[in-house]
Structure 1
Amino acid sequence: MISSVLLLLSILSYSSFDQARLHFDFTDFFKVFSTDPDYIHRSQYTHNWLGIFGAYAAHFLIHSTIGYSSIVIPFVLFVWGYTVLKNTDKKLALNISNFLLIFGIILATFFGVLRQNTDQDIFLNNIELAGNIGDFFGAVLSRMFGMLGGLIVLVTGMFVSLFIAFDLRFRAIRKYISDYLNREKPEETIRINTEEKDSISKSIEKIKKLKIPKKKKPEETEEEDEEKIEDEPIEKETKIRILRADEEAQISKPQVDPKVIVSSSKNKKDDDDEIIPAIDPNLEAELPDQWNEKLKYNPPTLELLQYSDDENVKVSEEELKTNAELLKEKLKLFDIDIEDISVTPGPVVTLYEIVPAPGVKISRIVSLDNDIALALAARGIRIIAPIPGKSAIGVEIPNDKSQLVSARSVLAHLSKSKAELPIALGKTIVGEVYITDLAIMPHLLIAGSTGSGKSVGINMLIISLIYAKDPSEVKFVIIDPKKIELSFYGKLNKHYLAVSPDLNEEIITNPQNALLVLKAVEHEMEKRYDKLAKVGVRHIVDYNKKIANPKTRPQDSEKMKHYKMPYLVVIIDELADLMMTSGKEVEAPIARLAQLARAVGIHLVVATQRPSVNVITGVIKANFPARIAYQVATKI
């Protein structure tokens, strides 16, 4: 970077008098150590800001390369120096440097063509305009195409190099210009907001006037209307309403407290800030000092997560109106009249609420799902008949361009949730953040084929609990037979992971170790039930409240030590692999935990790629009321 600055200064201070006065070779640089009076006299009258070095460097770059266009060379050196220093993307630096060099050569060749074809002294007497390289290419182009043809070739080469260097697409540029011009036209833009009645009414009127008939005289209009009334029945016009979600649901960069931890101790007074840490209850009698252990832990902030600009992409009004019209016309072909259509655009799927005319059976509309998907050229649709709580039928149609839902925008709402174990699953069809409670589920079954997003959902579940809870409030037991999906959570072994000292792995990957861990969790469940029975409570929340209060805290004994119980979340990433290797041995502890572990704060999250009857048996299926189904091949 320093060399680029030196070269830039030497080129900017170039003077043709320096070379005429100095007329030295490269070997004369070594005379700086001598006392030659002639050499000293010449060096004292150098005009260049960097002295003899600057004069020689500027003369070489300007005369021997591309003339004054060589000023791009310092910028190329600066770009590469900055890229190496900051360790940024080298592809961008390569594109910029290629464009600058090509631009310099084309500009020098431009002056070279002018020097070959004009008699102007300003071009003929200034070789610095083109340099040796510019003169060479200028002479070649002049001989092949002449002056005009050479200039056209150079201009074309400039645009081609610009497109190639920065990987531009003409279609994308044309679309950007078209969108910009359309945005500037107020008559083509429709803004619809559910909170403003005036805006809704204006928008409905605009949508009704999509097909404007030719203007006729009032007399002709009245006569034709009377004839139509006599000859044919009046067809009611279908209302199409586009309902936008609340503006608060469309999150730009969330301005919230970066520490999202929702701790049950945040509402306590300063005197009660002391947290009773969670410990491994194994060998409690031999390790009494661990009860007062304090974890050194700094909660993660939202600044660690990336914010994506693609999240603000909205579905175009034109696409919504087009789909609504196609839906109406397709149903009309099957003699199904629609009175009203309400459109609710979402991040990925748009909901079209249709109100059929009186006398239309719902079953007729439900049977047309494939025909509607064909008419709309959609990847697939979903019909909700009817929508719960509404006298309408819902048709969910995927958007042409899905909106990216970033984890940062969703996790920012965890601080507002009152759930014991909040899980941020994404956004609803109206764009509102959806947060549920794992403690209420109380167990979760996830099914999805490869590439359907199952691993993303599991990671989001874990990250939600990490952002929402302190290590003393929740622990994870992670079983990952695939060995690569959740292995990076092993770094949390001193904070969030419940690790057995008898096993040599934090993330359980061995099927035999998985069986041992599940039995250990089952044993932990029984010990917790004994403690709840001893204290006389029915739930882990009531137990922790009694433990936190010195007045209601029971006394410890040699056989039973009381401490704050953390929630224990057992995550099994691939149940099918465990069932193939262990079978009934794994099914028994999973079924027992699913039946009994809710009250003591132990929750199961089981995921599988193959939701068949051999994997999800009847015993397991009956105890997992909460289920998330990604794209699967079966409907079990």
Structure 2
Amino acid sequence: MISEPIDSRSKSSAKMPVKKEINEFESEVVENNILDTETVIQINIETGQLINSDRYLEYILPVPDLLEINIKKRGKESGDLNQTKIEILKLFNAFNIPAKITAIIESKRVTTFEISLSQGYPVVKLEKHLKDFRLRLGEKDLRFIIPMPGRTTVGLEIPNKNFYNLLFGTLVNSKEFINSQCIMPIALGQKLDNSFCILDLTKMPHLLIAGATGQGKSVCLHAIILSLLFKMKPSELKLILIDPKKVELNAYKRISKAFYFKDDSLRNYQTENEFILQTILDLEYEMENRYNILARSGHKDISEYNNYVKNKLTNSKRDILPYIVMIVDEFSDLSLSDDKVFSKSFNSHLNKLAGKSRAAGIHLIIATQRPSVKVITGDIKANFPARIAFRVSSTVDSRTILESGDANSLLGSGDMLVNFKGETIRVQGCFVSNAEVEKICNFIKSQKVDFSS
């Protein structure tokens, strides 16, 4: 059954020649100041397609109405927290640990008890009792955070028994995302202090995502892509999506005309490996070409150059260089391919790109479910300083990704550790449904505008 079209507002730098209407659907989106004009658009809420899209002369960013948001739910009962606090204090006394609980921080996935140790008590002694705490409290995934980020205290994380998904629409509607000053904001999820984790891809500048099968990598990739689509126009962003499995990122083919770096068909190449390698070579050529442009104009990076172009009296939007994001899913299948000639060339050109593409506005994201030292080599670690680790099966795999053994004690279902600028934070990832991905892609595809403007 097709629902009635609803009205939603759209962000645009200039008002479009569309009739203005007022109706009952003016809700949180407008109150959050996501949209700054009075232009009203009509959407089929089931498919995400624009109604009468030929009326709109400029590109319209996707609207949050297409996404579901969380309904506020009750947290833990205070009695349960107090009982857990009493049990922890009993364990402190039993093991002669001079400590007290100074704060209790509830988040979506875990509850953190902040612990202050007496001065002079060795932290290493506390770590020795980790298995005892797990046994006595009946929580095999319990862990210590030593120290709490930015503090002189220790954290004791205990998983919540009741858990519900954090929806991507909740992040997109949040003030942190709406008011973000990031050039390329990516919404990952919710931190332990209940604030949302919104990071700037341009400051990473490349990202490694790793974890066991079914722990949330693919959903994380969707959240990253949609975050960029909600904030950037086709003239500002181009995507290269390399998906050996051919199914995870297949939905984005319908926006190829708007956002793909090159909308080439696989029929142009004899094998898929040849297509992938040629795509990387094309991107490498684009990088070198951009550096030539920057050198001639006297600017050190793409941000300076684009600001210069925008401020020129003879400004042309077509002169602006869009940011390019290349996402490689199942990186290990390509890096360790049976075709040794291909894998050697692939790794060589990828590392070259990662090593010098930042100033040219080219950013790489690679994802793998095999975080072994053969896949995540020294070159990869050096060129991909920002990393996301989902749950892995062993401490060895965790150390390969993060240089620490914490990822093997994560809870799964989007529970992740994000290492950014030398700091590791725990984040509960958001959930994006396939239906929502399709709606956003349909919304973009249904627009009949010049995507280069």
Letter in 2 for 1:257: V
Letter in 2 for 1:586: F
After superposition, the Cα gap between the structure-2 partners of 1:443 and 1:258, relative to the gap in structure 1 and judged at 3 Å, is farther
Select the structure of larger CA radius of gyration: 1
Alignment partner, residue 519 of structure 1: 281
Offset at residue 371 of structure 1 (A): 1.6
Cα distance in 2, alignment partners of residues 428 and 566 from structure 1? 31
Structure 1 residue 458 and structure 2 residue 230: aligned? no
Structure 1 residue 574 and structure 2 residue 335: aligned? no
Offset at residue 260 of structure 1 (A): 8.5
Match 2:68 to one of 306, 309, 318: 306
User: Residues 347 and 430 of structure 1 are in contact (CA less than 8 Å); yes or no, is this contact kept in structure 2?
Assistant: no
Structure 1 residue 334 and structure 2 residue 107: aligned? no
Deviations 1:343-365 (A, max 9, x none): 01011111110112344221111
Structure 1 residue 257 and structure 2 residue 30: aligned? yes
After superposition, the Cα gap between the structure-2 partners of 1:366 and 1:618, relative to the gap in structure 1 and judged at 3 Å, is same
User: Residues 415 and 468 of structure 1 are in contact (CA less than 8 Å); yes or no, is this contact kept in structure 2?
Assistant: no
Cα distance in 2, alignment partners of residues 482 and 502 from structure 1? 16
Structure 1 residue 542 and structure 2 residue 298: aligned? no
Deviations 1:131-186 (A, max 9, x none): xxxxxxxxxxxxxxxxxxxxxxxxxxxxxxxxxxxxxxxxxxxxxxxxxxxxxxxx
After superposition, the Cα gap between the structure-2 partners of 1:314 and 1:469, relative to the gap in structure 1 and judged at 3 Å, is same
Letter in 2 for 1:499: K
After superposition, the Cα gap between the structure-2 partners of 1:428 and 1:605, relative to the gap in structure 1 and judged at 3 Å, is same
Alignment partner, residue 168 of structure 2: 407
Alignment partner, residue 510 of structure 1: 272
Q: What's the secondary structure of 1:350's corresponding residue?
A: strand
Q: State the aligned residue count.
A: 349
Q: What's the secondary structure of 1:465's corresponding residue?
A: helix
Deviations 1:574-614 (A, max 9, x none): 10111122321111111011110000110000000001122
Larger deviation: 579-588 or 484-493?
579-588
User: Residues 61 and 231 of structure 2 are in contact (CA less than 8 Å); yes or no, is this contact kept in structure 1?
Assistant: no
Letter in 1 for 2:63: T
User: Residues 256 and 263 of structure 2 are in contact (CA less than 8 Å); yes or no, is this contact kept in structure 1?
Assistant: no
**Equivalent residues in 2 for 1:185-584 (5 A)?**
255-257=28-30, 297-309=59-71, 311-413=72-174, 414-501=177-264, 503-504=266-267, 510-551=272-313, 563-581=319-337, 582-584=342-344
Alignment root-mean-square deviation, CA? 2.8
Cα distance in 1, alignment partners of residues 222 and 82 from structure 2? 37
Offset at residue 512 of structure 1 (A): 2.2
Letter in 2 for 1:584: K
After superposition, the Cα gap between the structure-2 partners of 1:259 and 1:520, relative to the gap in structure 1 and judged at 3 Å, is farther
User: Residues 546 and 553 of structure 1 are in contact (CA less than 8 Å); yes or no, is this contact kept in structure 2?
Assistant: no
Letter in 2 for 1:410: L
Structure with higher RCO (Cα < 8 A, 6+ apart)? 2
Cα distance in 1, alignment partners of residues 362 and 239 from structure 2? 10
User: Residues 547 and 562 of structure 1 are in contact (CA less than 8 Å); yes or no, is this contact kept in structure 2?
Assistant: no
After superposition, the Cα gap between the structure-2 partners of 1:467 and 1:553, relative to the gap in structure 1 and judged at 3 Å, is closer
User: Residues 528 and 600 of structure 1 are in contact (CA less than 8 Å); yes or no, is this contact kept in structure 2?
Assistant: yes
**Equivalent residues in 2 for 1:79-90 (5 A)?**
none
Residue ranges of structure 1 left out of the alignment (5+ in a row)? 1-84, 88-252, 268-293, 555-560
Offset at residue 442 of structure 1 (A): 0.3
Cα distance in 2, alignment partners of residues 386 and 304 from structure 1? 41
Deviations 1:504-532 (A, max 9, x none): 499xx922211111111111000000000
User: Residues 258 and 301 of structure 1 are in contact (CA less than 8 Å); yes or no, is this contact kept in structure 2?
Assistant: no
Letter in 2 for 1:587: N
Q: What's the secondary structure of 2:308's corresponding residue?
A: helix
Cα distance in 1, alignment partners of residues 309 and 75 from structure 2? 50
After superposition, the Cα gap between the structure-2 partners of 1:433 and 1:608, relative to the gap in structure 1 and judged at 3 Å, is same
Cα distance in 2, alignment partners of residues 86 and 622 from structure 1? 51
Offset at residue 312 of structure 1 (A): 2.2
User: Residues 573 and 607 of structure 1 are in contact (CA less than 8 Å); yes or no, is this contact kept in structure 2?
Assistant: yes
Letter in 1 for 2:273: P
Cα distance in 1, alignment partners of residues 146 and 336 from structure 2? 39
Please state which structure has a larger fraction of its residues in helix: 1
Letter in 2 for 1:567: Y
Moved over 6 A (4+): 258-262
Match 1:585 to one of 345, 348, 351: 345
**Equivalent residues in 2 for 1:141-220 (5 A)?**
none
Letter in 2 for 1:424: A
Offset at residue 552 of structure 1 (A): 7.9
Residue ranges of structure 2 left out of the alignment (5+ in a row)? 4-25, 38-55, 401-453
After superposition, the Cα gap between the structure-2 partners of 1:364 and 1:534, relative to the gap in structure 1 and judged at 3 Å, is same
User: Residues 89 and 100 of structure 2 are in contact (CA less than 8 Å); yes or no, is this contact kept in structure 1?
Assistant: no
Letter in 2 for 1:533: A
Alignment partner, residue 611 of structure 1: 371
User: Residues 300 and 467 of structure 1 are in contact (CA less than 8 Å); yes or no, is this contact kept in structure 2?
Assistant: yes
After superposition, the Cα gap between the structure-2 partners of 1:86 and 1:482, relative to the gap in structure 1 and judged at 3 Å, is closer
Cα distance in 2, alignment partners of residues 613 and 441 from structure 1? 22
Cα distance in 2, alignment partners of residues 522 and 295 from structure 1? 34
Cα distance in 2, alignment partners of residues 394 and 442 from structure 1? 30
* Identical residues among aligned pairs (%): 36
After superposition, the Cα gap between the structure-2 partners of 1:505 and 1:469, relative to the gap in structure 1 and judged at 3 Å, is farther
